[in-house]
Amino acid sequence: MDTRTSTNLTSTFLRLRPDSSIEQMPFDETFWPRLMSGKLGDFHREYLVTTSSFHEDWASWERHPNGDEIVCLLSGAVTFVFEREGGNEEVSLGRIGDFVFVPQGVWHTARTRVPTVMLFITAGEGTQGRPAVTTPAL
């Protein structure tokens, strides 16, 4: 990794490897399809560090069956929803630096109505997703 220049997590994601090395991964519109198809590797015992911006509820749920995830609020406000036996659990993040711990294997989604930026540190191996079911307006 070149330490003489600055990079930005909006355009370069990071792969944290088991040997404590770091790979910079340029982010563009092909990143997520390449990641999901396995073209970027399987992330066995590795973490992906990213930032993402949102201004509305996520359109899907996800879970990480092979490790935990940390999500930290950088700006805005968000409510994380965890699928639990007996009902959903909600955790709100409203101050810069607030974070939530997402346990391995727990389905989760996020809700927001304001522009929001979050930092993700994700055990990416085997990540699964499913569409969010929306409740019709009454």
| pLDDT over 50 at 63, yes or no | yes
Q: 10 Å Cβ neighbour count for 42?
A: 11
What is the enclosing helix (H) or strand (E) of 101?
Answer: strand 99-102
Q: 10 Å Cβ neighbour count for 25?
A: 17
Domain covering 12-128 in this structure, CATH number: 2.60.120.10
Residue 137 pLDDT level (bands cut at 50, 70, 90): very low
Q: What is the pLDDT of residue 41?
A: 85
pLDDT, averaged across the chain: 89
Q: Is 83 in contact with 129 (CB distance < 8 Å)?
A: no
Percent of the chain with pLDDT over 70: 93
Structural tokens at position 112: 């927001």
Residue 128 pLDDT level (bands cut at 50, 70, 90): confident
Q: What is the pLDDT of residue 50?
A: 94
Q: What is the pLDDT of residue 104?
A: 95
| pLDDT over 70 at 5, yes or no | yes
